[in-house]
Amino acid sequence: MSPTSRSPGVQGPGSPGDGSGADWGGRPPRSEDPMSWSIPLSRLGRTEIRVHVFFLLFSLVELVRALISEGDPGISMPLGFFWTAASLIFLWWIVLAHELGHVAMASWLGGRADEVLMWPLGGLATARAPAGWWPSLLVAIAGPLVNVAIFLVLGVVLYLQTGDFACVFPSVFSTGGLTEGIVVTSSSNVLTTLFIIHWVNGLVLVFSSLPSYPLDGARALHALLWRRLGYTRALTWTARVGFLVAILLGVTALLTTEGIYAGYLVALAFFCGFCCQRELNRMRFTESELEVLDHEELGTWAPEDREEGVVGRINAPGGGVHPDGTAEESAAVDRILDKIRSGGMKSLSRAERRLLKRASKRRRRP
């Protein structure tokens, strides 16, 4: 997931707060939230580093396959155990660099990163960037841009050393591109190492850029659509596109790829489809919550509510929410919806809830 805004309070391993066990760092896994299927590893400043169970399972399967294949030539495996272990190490550091790209951009924009979630394809950093489509777009593309920079550097080196474009632009939709590049660079362990890093980096770049949740491509697409359609409609259309991309990915895997790699791609397609549905469900839940907000709950504004958050900014001198509902109010509602999407309704102040209630009533008027 590419980076999203999240309410404060991502807790470190063993911290109290929600009654969950220390083993999960204050965030136990939930069946309806695939992003919670992770365990804490360490902290980098205020940023918690977690590893997704998919990363651990993928690494374990590949190491076992590599170990078995060395004694069974009938198993299709382009890398031996040593190179497989090395490639997984390369994958770890490339994904970490990808995630830190999101973190750095969010910090540069004035936000902060609460969490880095390591999984095989990157794109799941949790960053608190200023609300709005432009900051969201910058944070979403920051991770893939790190991979682009690595790709350009290694691509130039490999072309100068081999003169073979197959090494520069290897296919990542099957292991054929990996096998071909290893053959071309087999005369030098250094070149082989650089090529494997290049291939793994290209894998992360291509798949993290797909416009399907929870990948960075979907976050970037949502930000672009947000500008024209508004937050909610943009999310709906992005999720629909994500469903289509997930279906195409699964069909492509079944028709053009074979073996366990096809299984990985099909699993990714199902995972992306599940996450797209989850995004839609979360937005529908938000809308239903707005319909039943208790007026008594919103009856009074505490002084601090008037001064802080989105409501305080738009009520400041020079701003203002007009009675007929103008662009300022629409932008404020979009920012609040972005906050709900990551932190839930409980993350809102009373003033923000009141603004949403007023905007919701106005939009339902005939």
The confidence band for 174, taking pLDDT boundaries of 50, 70 and 90, is: confident
Q: Has residue 12 got a pLDDT over 60? A: no
Q: With 0-12 CB in 10 A as exposed, 13-18 as middle and 19+ as buried, what is 119?
A: buried
Cα angle vertex 107, ends 50, 142, to 5°? Answer: 75
> What pLDDT shows up at residue 82?
86
* pLDDT value for 107: 85
- Our CA dihedral for 47, 53, 56, 62, rounded to 10 degrees, sits at -140
148-157, 199-208, 275-284, range with the lowest pLDDT = 275-284
Q: What pLDDT score does 161 carry? A: 92
- Partnered with residue 126 across adjacent β-strands are 115
What's the pLDDT score for residue 149?
A: 97
39-62 tens-digit pLDDT: 888 787 777 888 888 888 888 988
The pLDDT of residue 273 is 93
* pLDDT above 50: residue 19: no
The reply to whether omega before 214 is within 30° of 0 (cis) is yes
State the DSSP string of 193-253.
HHHHHHHHHHHHHHHHTSSSTTSHHHHHHHHHHHHHH-HHHHHHHHHHHHHHHHHHHHHHH
Whole-number pLDDT of residue 310:
38
Residue showing tokens 């919806």: 337
Given this model, what pLDDT does residue 178 score? 86
Higher pLDDT, 80 or 181: 181
More confident site: 341 or 99 = 99
pLDDT at position 305 is 39
Give percent above pLDDT 70 in the chain: 66
Q: Does residue 135 or residue 328 have the better pLDDT?
A: 135
Tell me the torsion sign for CA atoms 98, 278, 211, 61. Answer: positive
Give percent of the chain above pLDDT 90.
Answer: 25
Of 269 and 308, the structure prediction assigns the larger pLDDT to 269
**Which is it for strands 112-118 and 47-52: parallel, antiparallel or unpaired?**
parallel
Q: Are 94 and 151 in contact (CB under 8 A)?
A: no
Query: Has residue 141 got a pLDDT over 90?
Result: yes
**347 pLDDT tier (thresholds 50, 70, 90):** low
Would the pLDDT of 71 be above 60?
A: no
